Amino acid sequence: MTVTSVKEQPPLRPKSNAAQARDITILGIESSCDETAASILRRRADGTLDLRSSIVSSQDKEHAPFGGVVPEIAARAHMLKLEHIVDKAVTESGLGYNDIDAVAATAGPGLIGGVIAGLMAAKGLAMSLDKPLIAVNHLEGHALSPRLSEDCPFPYLLLLISGGHSQLLAVTGLGQYTRLGSTVDDAAGEAFDKTAKVMALGFPGGPNVERWAQAGNPESISLPRPFQGKPHADFSFAGLKTAVARAWEASDQSGKAKADISASFQRAVADVLTDRTLRAMDMFRATHGHGPHRFVVAGGVAANTELRARLDQLCIGQNFKLFAPPLKFCGDNAAMIALVGAEKLMLGQIDDMDIAARPRWPLDQSAAAQNPKSGYGKKGPKS
């Protein structure tokens, strides 16, 4: 299969079906935050997938004493773990390094120390194996993650919600994203983590808030629903975080208070996300007809049970089919990075060895540059 560098010319589709006439095997590496991950994925000639291994090593113990991810600790942990994790992924796949057709790695966005660690490891492997290197946008991994378990054709409406990102996008193909809405301040996952930290629920915050919420009354605490009912599809969670902190300070700080505030906060987030998604569905229909359509929810917050149930009901009422990755693929993982790598390789999209790690890398690069929602600096638009 002939491939060309994306630096030499725009991405090209294969000139003939011969470029797709064989199986390809990708080694994926993910290190954008606090999960060190590696995966071997085989994309068959007919487009079906065979996930041979998916290894994820958590850094929860390293960061738990601080109540959140410490970038320096994360980068150091990645450097210590990467060689072992990659080797384990190859061993568990039942294949050898020589069976790999390309090495794909997260090149951003994320904590720059961790991204550099993973990308440098990928470069070293690609050079030693004389295989192509594919730099992957971490967010694109999440965008395609439901396809790890079921067929999810383009186009679709995507709600991407994680610790660092909250976005609604129209997805029409690989690398083809149109932003419909995004956060103007904090991400939904960050709000979950902050809520957990304020009430000392432990790290990681999202699962612990959900666990406490199961015993609480979601109607007990009055909390704001930022932007609810507004004629756009943007998000805002900073005010909700502040309201939670004030509610905790005013409470008796008992176990019951933790449960009630957690439940009320989780309900508020679910209300906001479903309301903003409803608005995005209207926008999606305006350009893609009346359906039925596909709706994808992905990212770490997509693992939240209440949110999944609410989005499922919304999709039923709006004539959208819901696609959500299995829980093991909601958080950061290398299987989704390998998947993007496989799809890019099939289109002849590879990268030079001088490709740089990027702390910021919006999926909708042009729209983000023209109208950044959450800051623009020397490193480019955040979102």
What separation, in Å, do the N-terminal and C-terminal C-alpha atoms of the chain show? 35
**Residue appearing with tokens 């994360």:** 74
pLDDT value at residue 7: 34
Instruction: Name the pLDDT band for 8 (thresholds 50, 70, 90).
Output: very low
The CATH architecture of the domain made up of 153-324 is 2-Layer Sandwich (3.30)
pLDDT value at residue 65: 83
CB 268 within 8 A of CB 240: yes
pLDDT in tens, 199-247: 999 988 999 999 999 999 999 999 999 999 999 999 999 999 999 999 9
Mean pLDDT of 313-331: 95
Query: Which residue type sits at 173?
Result: G
Q: How far apart are CA 26 and CA 335, in angstroms?
A: 9
Query: Which residue type sits at 363?
Result: L
Does the pLDDT at position 18 exceed 60? no
CA distances from 193 to 68, 91, 201 (A): 8, 35, 9
- Of the candidates 181, 153, 140, the residue with the CA atom closest to the CA atom of residue 299: 140
Angle, alpha carbons 109-160-93 (nearest 5°)? 70
| Beta strand 376-377 pairing with 293-298 | unpaired
Does the pLDDT at position 136 exceed 90? yes
pLDDT value at residue 342: 97
Residue ranges per domain, the chain? 4-147+330-381, 153-324
pLDDT value at residue 16: 34
Mean pLDDT of 77-95: 97
Strand order through the sheet with 102-108: 49-58, 35-43, 24-30, 102-108, 133-137
Percent of the chain with pLDDT over 90: 82
Mean pLDDT of 194-198: 95
pTM of the predicted model as reported, rounded to 2 decimal places: 0.88
CA distances from 274 to 9, 70, 267, 322, 366 (A): 40, 31, 11, 13, 27
- Of the candidates 59, 23, 55, 58, the residue with the CA atom closest to the CA atom of residue 39: 55
Task: Kindly report the CATH class assigned to 4-147+330-381.
Answer: alpha beta
CA distances from 340 to 134, 145, 332, 336 (A): 9, 9, 14, 6
pLDDT value at residue 10: 34
C-alpha 352: how far from chain center:
24
Same fold yes or no, 4-147+330-381 and 153-324: yes
pLDDT value at residue 82: 97
In sign, the C-alpha dihedral spanning 167, 173, 175, 178 is negative
